[in-house]
A and B are shown apart, each in its own frame.
Chain A
Amino acid sequence: MFAQRMIPADDCAVTPDHVDAFVKQTCEVIVGKNRAVKLAVACLLARGHLLIEDIPGVGKTTLSQALARSLALAFQRIQFTSDLLPADILGNSIFDRHEQRFVFHRGPLFSQVVLIDEVNRATPKTQSALLEAMEEQHISIDGVTYQLPEPFFVIATQNPQTAVGTFPLPESQLDRFLMRIELGVPERASERAMLLGMDRREMLKELKPVISPRTLFEIQDNVRNVHASAALLDYLQDLLDASRQRHTTGLSPRAGLALLHASQAWALMNGRDMVLPEDLQAIGIAVMGHRLGHDIAQPGQSGRTLADNLLHSVPVP
């Protein structure tokens, strides 16, 4: 694909040490998926949430666990099913007989890295409860607002929407994920390495934290300081304009912000203090793909193809 042609997958040239080590360690667990791992890290550094769309068994859970462990963050995994209720993930108020009052019992969402498995299996009610929490970073129950921990990073996995018994996420909710990536089946050599190597579960246990939460905050702050020049913003806006002209629902302003933050994170990961058009192109498909996937006027075109077309047709100013 386009971005892959532009920037080789294993291009991890000059990264700041921490991020470099972080990426490297994760890449050891998820073999041969360097690019997907880098995108996932960029998403985390840009303070966004990640959606992984792929068939079961390609390492979605492993990836999210590896990320959580390398960062020494609290990790929770929630399996979404069709009978899951909002209270099951947010928490419940239960009457405490000793204290004679209702006590709020926090649900599994109160964690730093939350892996939502098969997010499209839950009913829209539960989905929207989750997505609201993701956007607001807090939960309001019974008139009390509970702040979610920082950092708060949601990795949701999703089966391809052709699968039976799913509730596809509506556009408005897809927009809240900064990126959508696909892991895909590994190459033959990588798969062989995986087959020969240690058990992944063992490896996860042995992972050591490489970035403290505090360092992560610093890096996240630095991401926002990466310089985006007027020329780059021109390019970004050209992309947005082009998407709005071509598609019935073009990219939203939130998508514009997402593009900017993700490309800043990517630039930082590549050891630069400024964003280049290449950074935008590298994260372009992951950020725009799921946002463009709903064009009624062009049915049968996947969002990734549409995003790819955009990147291929909007000239770099």
Chain B
Amino acid sequence: MRLSKSRSSRRTQQWKDTTIPRRPLLWLAAALLFTLPPMLGNLASWVAWFFLLALALKFWMEPRGYRLRSTILKLILACLMLGAIFLSYGTLKGIEPGVSLLAVLVSLKILEAHTAREFQMIVMMAWVLCLCGFLLSQDFAVAFCLFVASALLIAALVQFHRGSSPGAFWVPLVTTFKLLAQAAPVVVLLFLLFPRINTGLQLRIGDFHAAMTGFSDRLSPGGIATLANSSEIAFRAEFPDSRTGPAGPLYWRGVVMWRCEGMEWRGPYSPTSISDSSRRYPARDKAIRQRITIAPHGLRWMFALDRPFGIPSGAMLARGNYLYSVRPIRKPRRYEVLSSIEPIDKELDAYERRQALQLPASITPAVSELAASWATHDSEPRAIVKSALQFFRTQGFRYSVSPGEYNKNDLEEFLFHRRTGFCEHYAASFATLMRLAGIPARVVVGYLGGEYNDLGGFFLVRQADTHAWCEVWIPDHGWMRVDPTTAVAPDRAGLDLSSFLASRVASGEMATGRGALLTRLTRLALVNQIRSIWEALNYQWDTRVLGFDADVQDVFLTSLGLTKSGPLPLAMQVLIVIFVLLIIYAGWMQLRTRRRVDRIQALYERYCQKLARIGVRRDPCEGPVDFEKRATQSLPSASKYVRQITETYIALRYAPEPAVISVDKFAKEINAFTAHT
């Protein structure tokens, strides 16, 4: 009877001991919430929901003593999850299924966990989850969240080990902050020195979700309008020579399209490279230097203002004077390029002329007649361009994000009936008309404008700024840019799209469509201020942190005087440096703690060390008198000094008025001690 009672009481005791305390659990939950953002949008959505559900369930279960106990149930759940992941992705291989699996397993572990060991295990798994978050996304926002998450995990561990000591909020936070501050130098050092591995990216980080953003090599009606709502960043540009860049609208050329199919235009399937070396570099004051950081878009477009020079490595100059990357751009890339202000092409070769006058067979007579009427009126190319622009300006054309569906053969419909279009409609139809009128023409797709960030001194160009315009060949001038959209919407070129639309809404020309609230919000100065700070931080993160790749590191190391020596010796050097720093740190810590122990104690310890060297070692738990007795017994010769030192020590340390004897005397006694023995 008694036995069974004690056994049951022991069981309840164990039961109580093995619930996870609430406060560390709260910290852990907060940390886990911060690991969610990279999952959202990158993993199957149910993974994040399951994760949240598990967390919520834990808080419901823990006070009631419930947890996932049955092994069979656990196995079934694990199998179910595995199946669900397989169904969601069609595979278990790859980054996303892998991270999903980890997230799901962490969720299950949370439901199961009840011991201290399991709590610590969850913390460790959550750290791995943080690292995996970086595989999914390397945005500044995500990095920030994951940093917060790992800090909160430290706080959770700290709080867990503090037990029920008072102060559950500030104390663990302060400790965490101290730990992070101590780790910061090592982190910086590792960041700067740790070898970057350039093995062709076998992991292919960033080569998955929405691999291609932005425009493609085909300009079809409505193609750019779909990008008008995208706030995704295309690239950022700095003008190192003049902070705010050149005056006038910024036309960032991306791709030049030669092939006309009426309302639809195409770029070359694989652009032919033209040599840069044969061209004469413009004078320094006749060129604009740009430093551009492209966000990964999965394609090969690289952007520059018109007439680029100084082709960055890994890129080529394609026919039509635009930059084309050798490899798809899958991670942030930074490069510098020059753009000439003055026209450079003097002659159009036969091949290009043929290309620039190619026309599809499907042109209707009405359209041809329109173009021919301009050409017969005045055969001078500039006059033709002028009359075409005049046509767009005066014939009631409207500029609209949603002009309705057009087919590639709907040129006539657009020009004579509906007369509503977005930039791609105008660019495509204008270039086709020019060709019909006998003027070599091509369409350029790229970006127009950009939002200037005062704080960071850069232009932020978003996908919404995608634009299409034309270039026509004027014999004595070369390729000349003509933007027919400005004929319809004259202020479009001066503003980025969103401001342009906002101004349209304000003047009542357009109905308040999408994001009226957003538009209104962006007009608030404070919101704009915060946004520009955030974007400046983002830019710094992308350029300084993510952009610090093997090449930049090489330059940095060379500037430090470390020669390029391959990753392995570099790793060795790094390890040695870290080791030396750790030794210095340990020494410093030792010195600091030593200083705290008062001098008397330090002196006495030195004396004990001296005695230990001759064979009488003091037990840490031994008092001075006992030690004296033992020492005098085993060292009768030194007994006089031992007694004297102990007497002084006791007088200094334990007596009511220790000031009677000076510490210096004690120090002298101890220094002299070796001499006697």
Contacts and interface: CB of A to CB of B under 8 A. Distances in A.
Interface of A: 6-7, 227, 229, 231-232, 273-278, 281, 311-317
A227 B504 CA distance: 89
Contacts of A314: 621
Contacts of A231: 601, 653-654
19 contacts: A6-B622, A6-B623, A7-B626, A227-B656, A229-B656, A231-B654, A273-B655, A273-B656, A274-B656, A277-B623, A277-B624, A278-B625, A311-B621, A312-B621, A315-B620, A316-B620, A316-B621, A316-B622, A317-B601
A274 B655 contact: yes
B658 A229 contact: yes
Contacts of B366: none
A313 B658 CA distance: 28
Contacts of A275: 654
B656 A313 contact: no
Given A7-B626, A278-B626, A317-B601, A229 B655 contact: yes
Contacts of A278: 623-626
Given A6-B622, A231-B601, A277-B624, 14 more contacts: A7-B626, A227-B654, A229-B653, A229-B654, A231-B653, A231-B654, A273-B656, A275-B654, A276-B624, A276-B654, A278-B624, A311-B621, A314-B621, A316-B623
Contact of B650 (A276, A281, A317): A276
Contacts of B655: 227, 229, 273-274
Given A311-B621, A313-B621, A316-B621, A6 B626 contact: yes
Contacts of A317: 601
Contacts of B656: 227, 229, 273-274
A315 B625 CA distance: 15
A38 B207 CA distance: 84
Contacts of B620: 315-316
A273 B655 CA distance: 8
Interface in B625-677: 625-626, 650, 653-656, 658
Interface residues of B, number: 14
A276 B623 CA distance: 7
Interface in B121-178: none
A278 B622 CA distance: 8
Contacts of A313: 621
A121 to B, nearest CB: 23
Contact of A281 (B623, B653, B654): B623
Nearest to A227: B656
Contacts, number: 49
A110 to B, nearest CB: 39
B598 to A, nearest CB: 9
Nearest to B630: A6
B11 to A, nearest CB: 15
Given A312-B621, A314-B621, A317-B601, A274 B654 contact: yes
Contacts of B601: 231, 317
Interface string B553-596: 00000000000000000000000000000000000000000000
A304 B571 CA distance: 57
Nearest to B655: A274
Nearest to A280: B623
A7 B622 CA distance: 11
Contact of B654 (A7, A232, A315): A232
Nearest to A270: B625
A246 B655 CA distance: 31
A277 B601 CA distance: 14
B625 A276 contact: yes
A295 B601 CA distance: 35
A273 B651 CA distance: 11
Contacts of A229: 653-656, 658
A103 B441 CA distance: 130
Contacts of B626: 6-7, 278, 281
B471 to A, nearest CB: 81
B600 to A, nearest CB: 9
A317 to B, nearest CB: 7
Nearest to A278: B623
Contacts of B658: 229
Contacts of A227: 654-656
Interface string B586-623: 00000000000000010000000000000000001111
Contacts of B654: 227, 229, 231-232, 274-276
A229 B656 CA distance: 7
Interface centre among B620, B621, B624 (most CB of A within 10 A): B621
